[in-house]
């Protein structure tokens, strides 16, 4: 049997399902495929560690490494004695790649102009399905290695997206998460340049059986009128947006080559909160970006309250070889670590106060796990809730929130 080990983002999780389908088509047996991530040095280190462990435990299996770290540093994986084959991010989606006579096949990702739907229809053990609508990125933020791993921005045709959304809804998934690298740049490369907002409305119109549509991560400065209108008018578009904010300090945002200022993040959250008062925001924040002073860090820390952020993904700055930020004056590692810990602590406080504020409310949950003692599910705004009673993963359940822990709602089914 072929095992897939996935690192990183939802796009990788989606592609791992496509890899599973391609590997099965190719008739691959007794193999372990690592779909790696290159966002941080830590992600790369973890993938190497996992590869060594897999080889020790499976001396005869074929070990294949792919994903963003394989795309950006194929040679360093090819040098590992544990590895049999290294494939690039495009090659991993081609069944023929799994039986080539070379040890490395990684092509120039910048030469890729198109991206197609992978027609994935199974997500093992998941109540929600991911749907890739876009890949790559045209921006060049100074800390980011992703464009070198995934190439320039390209969108899946609207017709293909709707066909796949319909298939996933028919396969019984009540919720679909649209995913990509730079989701808000959707459609720029397609005839008629359909926007992300237009795509959302079309999916919800042409797939009426779909109960929930969620977005993976957006760049708020690229949110246009059409997206805001979809947010305001489409009830089945979930009121939960994860922002690629990165910092709360304007000088640092400039040095990151981001296209937004601190006030833009706050303004976007205020606007959307007026349109959907039950909205919750998540955000990516980097701690310890080169040249960040205590005062600049303070602006990031304060952004959590000023924008009303709830779900934080905190990244201690990790210099990625070949990026401009890796050549900038670095903040001392212990300081980076300490700042990341302070952001996480602030994030936990924000989550706890959100959980408490939801006590007493009625919510609809998408059940994720059903257990002998209790079940868990997610609200529209992505809060996790724990409740008792009969339930099946993928079912929608109405509950009353009776209490909360610092990270979870406690609820009981409404009769
Ligand atoms: S927008 Fe910036 S951070 Fe995001 S993938 Fe593109 S280059 Fe990286």
Q: Determine which residue's CA is closest to atom 2 belonging to ligand 1.
A: 141
Judge if 73 and 144 occupy the same domain. no
Distance from Cα 156 to the centre of ligand 1, integer Å: 19
Alpha carbon distance 384, 405 (integer Å): 10
Whether 11 is in a domain gets the answer yes
Q: Which CATH number goes with the domain that contains 385?
A: 2.40.50.140
Determine which helix (DSSP H) or strand (DSSP E) holds 355, and give its type and residue range: helix 333-357
Judge if 217 and 250 occupy the same domain. yes
Residue among 135, 136, 137, 313 whose CB has most ligand 1 atoms within 8 A, to mutate = 137
Nearest Cα to Cα of residue 284 among 259, 257, 265: 265
pTM for this model (two decimals): 0.93
Whether 378 is in a domain gets the answer yes
Distance from Cα 377 to the centre of ligand 1, integer Å: 31
Q: Please identify, by atom number, the ligand 1 atom nearest to the C-alpha of residue 181.
A: 5
Judge if 46 and 189 occupy the same domain. no
Whether 347 is in a domain gets the answer yes
Nearest Cα to Cα of residue 381 among 401, 358, 353: 358
Nearest Cα to Cα of residue 109 among 147, 155, 54, 62: 147
Residue among 8, 134, 150, 182 whose CB has most ligand 1 atoms within 8 A, to mutate = 182
Q: Please identify, by atom number, the ligand 1 atom nearest to the C-alpha of residue 140.
A: 7
Judge if 71 and 208 occupy the same domain. no
Q: Determine which residue's CA is closest to atom 1 belonging to ligand 1.
A: 139
Judge if 302 and 380 occupy the same domain. no
Distance from Cα 29 to the centre of ligand 1, integer Å: 36
From 357, 381, 405, the end of a domain falls on 357
Residue among 144, 145, 148, 149 whose CB has most ligand 1 atoms within 8 A, to mutate = 144
Q: Which CATH number goes with the domain that contains 168?
A: 3.80.30.20
Whether 272 is in a domain gets the answer yes
Distance from Cα 324 to the centre of ligand 1, integer Å: 13
Contact (CB, 8 A) for 35 and 2: no
Distance from Cα 145 to the centre of ligand 1, integer Å: 8
Measured CA distances, 35 to 72, 75, 136, 375 (Å): 13, 16, 16, 30
With a Cβ cut-off of 6 Å, ligand 1 is lined by 137, 139-141, 144, 146-147, 181-182, 244
Per-residue pLDDT of the chain (415 residues; tens, 9 = 90+): 889 999 998 899 889 989 998 999 989 999 999 999 999 999 999 999 999 999 999 999 999 999 999 999 999 999 999 999 999 999 999 999 998 889 999 999 998 877 766 667 656 566 899 999 999 999 999 999 999 999 999 999 999 999 999 999 999 999 999 999 999 999 999 999 999 999 999 999 999 999 999 999 999 999 999 999 999 999 999 999 999 999 999 999 999 999 999 999 999 999 999 999 999 999 999 999 999 999 999 999 999 999 999 999 999 999 998 999 999 999 999 999 999 999 999 999 999 999 999 999 999 999 999 998 999 999 999 999 999 999 999 999 999 999 999 999 999 999 7
Distance from Cα 219 to the centre of ligand 1, integer Å: 9
From 78, 107, 136, the end of a domain falls on 107
Q: Determine which residue's CA is closest to atom 4 belonging to ligand 1.
A: 182
Return the pLDDT at 126: 63
Whether 317 is in a domain gets the answer yes
Q: Please identify, by atom number, the ligand 1 atom nearest to the C-alpha of residue 144.
A: 8
Number of domains into which the chain is organized: 3
Judge if 348 and 380 occupy the same domain. no
Helices (H), ranges, 180-330: 196-206, 225-233, 250-255, 262-275, 294-307
Distance from Cα 304 to the centre of ligand 1, integer Å: 21
Judge if 42 and 182 occupy the same domain. no
Judge if 251 and 382 occupy the same domain. no
Judge if 76 and 171 occupy the same domain. no
Distance from Cα 215 to the centre of ligand 1, integer Å: 16
Distance from Cα 182 to the centre of ligand 1, integer Å: 7
Return the pLDDT at 112: 83
From 311, 335, 357, the end of a domain falls on 357
Whether 123 is in a domain gets the answer no
Judge if 367 and 339 occupy the same domain. no
Judge if 80 and 146 occupy the same domain. no
Alpha carbon distance 216, 56 (integer Å): 36
Distance from Cα 141 to the centre of ligand 1, integer Å: 6
Helix or strand or coil: residue 123?
coil
Strand ranges (E), 289-404? 309-316, 362-370, 375-378, 384-387, 396-404
Judge if 144 and 227 occupy the same domain. yes
Q: 302 lies in which domain range?
A: 128-357
């Amino acid at each position: 049997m072929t095992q897939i080990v996935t690192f990183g983002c939802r796009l990788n999780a989606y592609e791992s399902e496509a890899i599973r389908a391609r590997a099965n088509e190719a008739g691959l047996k007794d193999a372990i495929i690592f779909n790696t991530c290159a966002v941080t040095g830590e992600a790369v280190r973890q993938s190497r560690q996992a590869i060594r462990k897999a080889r020790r435990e499976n001396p005869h299996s074929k070990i294949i490494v792919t994903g963003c770290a394989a795309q950006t540093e194929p040679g360093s994986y090819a040098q590992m004695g544990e590895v049999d084959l290294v494939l690039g991010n495009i090659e991993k989606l081609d069944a023929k790649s799994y039986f080539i006579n070379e040890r490395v096949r990684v092509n120039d990702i910048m030469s890729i102009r198109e991206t197609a739907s992978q027609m994935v229809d199974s997500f093992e053990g998941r109540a929600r399905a991911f749907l890739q609508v876009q890949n790559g990125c045209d921006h060049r933020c100074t800390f980011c290695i992703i464009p070198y791993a995934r190439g320039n921005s390209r969108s899946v045709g609207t017709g293909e997206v709707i066909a796949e959304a319909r298939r996933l809804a028919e396969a019984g998934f009540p919720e679909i998460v649209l995913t990509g690298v730079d989701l808000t740049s959707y459609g720029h490369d397609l005839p008629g340049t359909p926007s992300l907002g237009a795509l959302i409305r079309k999916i919800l119109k042409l797939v009426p059986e779909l109960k929930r549509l969620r977005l993976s991560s957006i760049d708020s400065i690229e949110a246009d009128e059409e997206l805001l209108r979809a947010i305001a008018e489409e009830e089945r578009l979930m009121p939960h947006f994860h922002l690629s904010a990165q910092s709360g300090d304007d000088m640092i945002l400039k040095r990151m080559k981001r296209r937004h200022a601190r006030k833009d993040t706050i303004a976007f959250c205020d606007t959307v909160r007026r349109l959907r008062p039950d909205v919750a925001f998540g955000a990516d924040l980097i701690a310890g970006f080169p040249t960040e002073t205590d005062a600049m860090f303070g602006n990031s820390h304060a952004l959590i309250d000023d924008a009303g952020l709830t779900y934080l993904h905190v990244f201690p700055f990790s210099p990625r070889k070949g990026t401009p930020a890796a050549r900038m004056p670095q903040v001392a590692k212990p300081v980076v670590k300490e700042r990341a810990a302070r952001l996480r602590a602030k994030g936990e406080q924000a989550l706890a106060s959100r959980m408490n504020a939801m006590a007493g409310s009625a919510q609809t949950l998408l059940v994720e796990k059903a257990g002998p003692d209790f079940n868990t599910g997610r609200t529209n705004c992505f809060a996790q809730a724990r409740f008792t009673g009969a339930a099946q993963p993928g079912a929608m359940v109405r509950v009353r929130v009776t209490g909360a822990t610092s990270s979870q709602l406690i609820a009981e089914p409404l009769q």
